[in-house]
Amino acid sequence: MLKKITILGITVTAILLIISLSTFDPSSEENNDELELIVKGDVVMPSKVSRPGCEKMDRCYIPSIITIESGKEVTWVNEDSAFHSVTSGFYDTPSDLFDSGYLDPSESFTFTFNEPGRYDYFCTLHPWMYGQVIVE
């Protein structure tokens, strides 16, 4: 009797394993929705920069100053749990060159710099956050 129960248990387990493996499709749309898109950024807004103090350690945007060649793009990635923005100019005098709008956590913003110069930027929600792009 014990032998029959053991054989039945192994058989049922094997059948369930075969069924589960045959119905799993790693490329299905349902599984792809769960995958998280990872964006590699040139400049990162790290965690906890929505609080004043990051400017004292120069880590509100990392790096706070980036140098690129003319015609290249810069991608900013919000790795914080708070909303942020990347807006050209200064907090009291924004310019109209670029504005990411509010970036949700894990969102990114990319801008192409075609003209040489120094481009200051800041976060509209957190005025202590500022950085600069130098285009050569």
pLDDT tier at 9, thresholds 50, 70, 90 = low
**1 or 101, higher pLDDT:** 101
The length of the chain, given as a count of residues: 136
Is 0.75 surpassed by the pTM of this model?
A: no
State the average pLDDT for the chain: 85
pLDDT tens track for 14-26: 665 566 556 555 5
Q: What is the mean pLDDT of residues 87-100?
A: 96
Express each pLDDT in 26-76 by its tens digit: 554 444 444 445 568 999 999 999 999 999 999 999 999 999 999 999 999
What per-residue confidence (pLDDT) applies to 117? 97
More confident residue, 4 or 74: 74
